[in-house]
Structure 1
Amino acid sequence: MYTVVVLALPDLIAFDLATPIETFGRVRLPDGRPGYQVIVAGADDVVDAGPVRLAVDHGLDALDRADLVVVPGRHDSLRPSPLTVVEALRVAAGRGTRVASICVGAFTLAEAGLLDGRRATTHWLVADELARRYPSVRVDPDVLYVDDHDVLTSAGASSGIDLCLHVVRTDYGAAVAADAARLAVAPLHRAGGQAQYILRNRPSPRTASLEPVLAWIEANAHRPLTLADLAAAANTSSRTLTRRFTEVTGQSPMQWVSGVRLRHAQELLETTDHTVDRIASRTGFTTTSNFRAQFQNVVGTTPGAYRRTFHS
């Protein structure tokens, strides 16, 4: 039996705490024995978890007997972690204990230096911030989880379930993991990655300086557009527009147009029964094959699989 220690940090996200407790705690082996002992530990006896307060029965010395330490996310992911927690994580990882994070718990692992030089993921909304703060981390915002040997990270919320089931499959095999998935009423493996949940190329406060041309793109993305068309709409030169887009969005103008087209296509897949051919035509893609290829490359799944997941 493996021992899983789930860390209860200040400002804890309760869902992230419950995910490993429930997923690992319900695992049963073929002979009926539990697969995991789950312990909740922290630096404080009581921690805030949004609208509730939680009593913590075990201190950080519980990490000494852990086979896996799970770090849930916190509402303020940029808030520094307690130094005692950071040091305890370093010591645990140093002796070979597996360490995992749920959602923005990756920031705590990065703060402890455990993601340096590694591939990792977190919630797509803060993936850029994780990469900015910790440039030595190879942040992949498109996947549901990353297994980098003894350090594992997951994306937002329910991706923590995907990661926990992956750990069960690694520890005990597919049959035990499938039983755990049935108890969690969750798929053992989800098609696609986090990329399919990302809202692409939407105007935001950081793109305010480009607002007129972005609004024009929103209204005209279905048309066959060129860089010259965008520059004319922005009343500037193609060179100046490209420079401004790169500075503000990190993308070229035509890359932004492609992202808008994909978002419009996602919306149609979610809300209509239009054929894929019709959606491709209505959203500005030159051919259906081009649309399918770009959708698969960026969203990480096919238009049909996306519709089956998200159609209302």
Structure 2
Amino acid sequence: MHAVALAATDGMLSFELTIATEVFGDDPRYGFAVCGSAPVRVGRFILEPDHGLDRLAQADTVLVPGWADVDRPPPADLIDAVRAAHARGARVASLCTGAFVLAAAGLLDGLRATTHWAHTDVLAARHPRVTVDPDVLYVDNGRILTSAGKAAAMDLCLHLVRADHGPAAANAIARRLVVPPHRAGGQAQFVPAPVPARDDHPLAALLPWITARLDRPLTVADLARRANMSSRHLGRHFRSATGTTPLQWLLNQRIRRAQELLENTDASIDAVAEAVGMGTATTLRRHFNRTVGVPPDTYRRTFRS
């Protein structure tokens, strides 16, 4: 039986704890235990660990969930226990901000890693020897794995089951939990769609007009003419309101619409490309893969498996 130990600490996130328990706790192929140095607070509840942190060194896989206060340094005994487990040969995986524990233990030095997108800048600044990638769901370095936040922790846990027991085992768990059976780790955490914060902003009427016409060829001159301003003036308003250029914002809307069509329709890739104004499947695949991190065919299979 493959021993999975979850390293518990005060203030850890209950969602990640629940995910780990749901995936590994009821599977007879795994022996699952929660390990901590003392009773720990999880949200509004107190959790009594099954074993002390020293039991991590006996596990085949150690899971390190995130905790809410990333400004607080991880507990020294937790860092030492995770480092010792890895030195003994355990596979170590962090869920969400658990990456801060792995980084503090020195396990991520020289490696690519991720965490919740809201904390990637902090992780990179605090641990400059770690190559932090904010745009992926999870990173598998073999014996060291890290995931982004929330649902990406589920993706990583299913990835571990798939690596241990094959896709059929992971798919069975995914069906039980009613989640997609596989999302590639390189998939983007999200595609940004910034909008103006105020209804009276000069772009407030333009953006809905654009999203209603994503199937049409649109240029900056078209948008400027519709907004009754110069192209340069339009660019300044876009940068101020959305943090990006008119054409980049338009591309993001096309990609988001393509995601919706891939998820919810049986339209061919060529039809999706035409519906979002990209003309050909080749053009859609190029932009979709660069933005989302996976080809549209792979993205669709995630929702059709």
TM-score over 0.5 for the alignment?
yes
Q: Distance in 2 between matches of 1:234 and 1:147?
A: 50
1:137 matched residue in structure 2? 130
8 Å contact kept, 1:212–1:234: no
Q: Distance in 2 between matches of 1:100 and 1:277?
A: 39
The answer for unaligned runs of 5 or more in structure 2 is none
Please show how residues 82-121 of structure 1 align to structure 2 within 5 Å: 82-121=75-114
Deviation of 1:118 (Å): 0.9
Structure 1 position 43 matched with structure 2 position 37: yes
1:81 matched residue in structure 2? 74
Within the candidate set 254, 267, 279, 1:261 is matched to: 254
Q: Distance in 2 between matches of 1:61 and 1:195?
A: 35
2:148 matched residue in structure 1? 155
Q: Distance in 2 between matches of 1:71 and 1:53?
A: 18
In structure 1, what residue type is equivalent to 2:142? Answer: H
In structure 2, what residue type is equivalent to 1:12? Answer: M
8 Å contact kept, 1:142–1:193: no
Within the candidate set 175, 178, 182, 1:185 is matched to: 175
Please show how residues 1-312 of structure 1 align to structure 2 within 5 Å: 1-28=1-28, 35-45=29-39, 47-171=40-164, 173-174=165-166, 178-179=168-169, 181-183=171-173, 185=175, 190-193=182-185, 195=187, 198-203=190-195, 212-213=202-203, 216-217=206-207, 219-220=209-210, 222=214, 224-226=217-219, 238=232, 241=235, 245=239, 249=243, 253-269=246-262, 277=270, 279-303=272-296, 306=299
Q: Distance in 2 between matches of 1:43 and 1:103?
A: 21
Q: Distance in 2 between matches of 1:60 and 1:241?
A: 55
Deviation of 1:41 (Å): 1.3
Q: Distance in 2 between matches of 1:229 and 1:304?
A: 31
Q: How far does the alpha carbon of each residue in 1:158-204 deviate from its partner, in whole angstroms, 9 at most, with x for none? A: 44344334434544x43xx6346424536895154573661423237
Q: Distance in 2 between matches of 1:115 and 1:16?
A: 20
CA distance 1:214–1:309, shift in 2 (3 Å) = farther
Q: Distance in 2 between matches of 1:234 and 1:304?
A: 39
In structure 2, what residue type is equivalent to 1:102? Answer: L
Q: Distance in 1 between matches of 2:283 and 2:232?
A: 25
Q: Distance in 1 between matches of 2:125 and 2:251?
A: 25
CA distance 1:184–1:252, shift in 2 (3 Å) = closer
Deviation of 1:24 (Å): 3.0
Which TM-score applies when normalising by structure 2?
Answer: 0.74
Q: Percent identity?
A: 44
- Count of residue correspondences: 297
In structure 2, what residue type is equivalent to 1:219? Answer: W
SS of 1:16 mapped into structure 2? helix
- More displaced 10-residue stretch of structure 1: 230-239 or 1-10: 230-239
CA distance 1:4–1:215, shift in 2 (3 Å) = farther
RMSD over aligned Cα atoms: 4.1
Deviation of 1:106 (Å): 1.8
Which TM-score applies when normalising by structure 1?
Answer: 0.72
CA distance 1:69–1:269, shift in 2 (3 Å) = closer
In structure 2, what residue type is equivalent to 1:203? Answer: V
SS of 2:253 mapped into structure 1? helix
Q: Distance in 1 between matches of 2:105 and 2:97?
A: 14
Deviation of 1:108 (Å): 2.6
Deviation of 1:48 (Å): 2.0
Q: Distance in 2 between matches of 1:191 and 1:122?
A: 16
Q: How far does the alpha carbon of each residue in 1:88-142 deviate from its partner, in whole angstroms, 9 at most, with x for none? A: 3233334443211112322332233322221122334544554454443223344
Q: Distance in 1 between matches of 2:154 and 2:294?
A: 20
8 Å contact kept, 2:196–2:204: no
CA distance 1:306–1:37, shift in 2 (3 Å) = closer
CA distance 1:283–1:135, shift in 2 (3 Å) = farther
The answer for unaligned runs of 5 or more in structure 1 is 29-34
